[in-house]
Amino acid sequence: MFSKRMRLFELLGFTVYIDLSWIFIALLIVWSLATGLFPSLAEGLTPRTYWAMGVVGAVGLFASIIFHEFSHSLVARRYDIPIRGITLFIFGGVAEMTDEPHEPQAEFYMAIAGPLASLFLAGCFLLLTALTEAAGLPVTMVAVLQYLGWVNAILAVFNMVPAFPLDGGRVLRAALWKRTGNLQEATKRAANTGAQFGLGFMILGAYFFITGNIIGGIWWFLIGIFMRTASAASYQQVLIRNVLEGEPVSRFMKTEPICVSPQTTVRQMVEDYFYRYHHKLFPVLADGRLIGQVTVADMKRVNPAEWDKVTMAEILEPPSPANTIGTGEDAMQALARMNRDNRSRLMVVTPARELAGILTLKDLMELFQLKVDLDPEL
């Protein structure tokens, strides 16, 4: 989902990332707070003070969103739902699940945890606002706390809109799932609701744009596009699970893959294999035994001046749970591993750790698309 992001820190076993798009929204928030909101809440201060308040307010919002997503993640852990990480991006934050909840109850509690956390923060900040104001503390502190109180309340309310994949949409899916007993059908209905809300936000954005609120109009229009796209992608993930779950990877793999010798030089590898076959991964065999793999990325790390000297034995990646999967393992497990480790190919091995084939993300998705095209109920 996120191609350009930076790792910030790890807390309670969860890694927090920031997508580069967040830089844009952070600057926009600081600017809007420093030039709009805070001058109206605290009059007569210097521009430098307003900009400092804007930075503090943006950092507070940043921390509030992390708190919101951590609440989701902690409940997910309680129900054994793996979380890949927490990423802040242009539309807020997301706790990246690598698996769907296993029951409606888990979906409900995980979804509701975020808005409840935001409501808790809203109450705390608004209480602190009243206390600091009563104590006669600086107006700068009062204004920032007031902003954080209201923005967390807005986060809670907006996230409870029944538009999948927002938290409210997940609560809706949990209710539909419990009533129908069918996760796919529940996801389809919730995703359709999310798409309708997305269309509504796009229309609202167009109205604001036409009536002169250009920034607000663009913002609501983009949120609408995001919601329509995200709801469709979420439904597709459930379809993929239903199609692939229970299928062994041996059904999808390419047998008799092209392999290379550990003595092959980088130049030979590039000219005789990568340029010839256009594959991005080649297994390395020594006397018929799998000893690793080489990829385009491995080639790029070698200085071109050393291409005639360096061999595959020196740069290969040894077999590991990250780059191999057993012939009898579930295709959905393979897909989850590809997503988790950001890989599009896995070497398939027998119980004796012998090479059986290559599994690619493209092959998995082609079969999925074929089943969707042939099955009118999907």
pLDDT mean over 351-365: 87
Structure tokens at 125: 């900040």
Percentage of the residues of the chain whose pLDDT score is greater than 70: 94
Query: Contact, 326 vs 263, CB < 8 A?
Result: no
CA-based nearest residue to 28, from 5, 54, 46:
54
Mean pLDDT of the chain: 86
H-type alpha helices, the chain? 21-32, 38-41, 47-78, 104-134, 139-159, 167-180, 183-210, 214-244, 266-269, 275-277, 296-300, 312-315, 331-341, 361-374
Q: Write down the pLDDT at residue 158.
A: 87
Structure tokens at 21: 């798009």
Query: Contact, 277 vs 301, CB < 8 A?
Result: no
pLDDT mean over 75-87: 79
Residue-wise pLDDT tens digits, 11-68: 777 777 777 777 778 888 898 889 888 998 888 889 999 999 999 999 999 889 888 8
Percentage of the residues of the chain whose pLDDT score is greater than 90: 37
- In angstroms, the CA 68 to CA 116 distance is 8
Cβ atoms within 10 Å, residue 376: 6
In this prediction, residue 70 has a pLDDT band, given cuts at 50, 70 and 90, of: confident
- In angstroms, the CA 284 to CA 355 distance is 10
pLDDT at position 292 over 90? yes
Q: Parallel, antiparallel, or unpaired for β 345-349 and 355-360? A: antiparallel
Angular region, 170: left φ>0, alpha ψ -120 to 50, beta rest: alpha
Query: Contact, 69 vs 117, CB < 8 A?
Result: no
Q: Write down the pLDDT at residue 79.
A: 84
Q: Return the minimum-mean-pLDDT range out of 70-74, 98-102, 154-158, 355-359.
A: 98-102
pLDDT at position 285 over 80? yes
Q: Write down the pLDDT at residue 1.
A: 46
Q: How many CA atoms lie within 13 A of 114 on its CB side?
A: 32
Q: Write down the pLDDT at residue 28.
A: 82
pLDDT at position 278 over 70? yes
- In angstroms, the CA 123 to CA 146 distance is 10
How many residues are listed for the chain in this entry? Answer: 378
Does domain 249-374 fall under CATH 3.10.580.10? My reply is: yes
- In angstroms, the CA 340 to CA 334 distance is 10
Q: Write down the pLDDT at residue 368.
A: 76
**Higher pLDDT pick, 245 / 173:** 173
Angular region, 345: left φ>0, alpha ψ -120 to 50, beta rest: beta
Residue-wise pLDDT tens digits, 91-135: 566 666 666 778 889 889 988 999 999 999 999 999 999 999 999
98: DSSP letter? S
pLDDT at position 236 over 50? yes
- In angstroms, the CA 136 to CA 148 distance is 19
**Higher pLDDT pick, 314 / 373:** 314
Residue in the block written with tokens 């805070």: 38
pLDDT at position 223 over 60? yes
Residue-wise pLDDT tens digits, 140-167: 999 999 999 999 999 899 889 888 888 8
* pTM for this predicted structure: 0.72
Q: Return the minimum-mean-pLDDT range out of 18-27, 200-209, 351-360, 366-375.
A: 366-375
Q: Write down the pLDDT at residue 288.
A: 85
Residue in the block written with tokens 């080649």: 282
- In angstroms, the CA 86 to CA 305 distance is 41
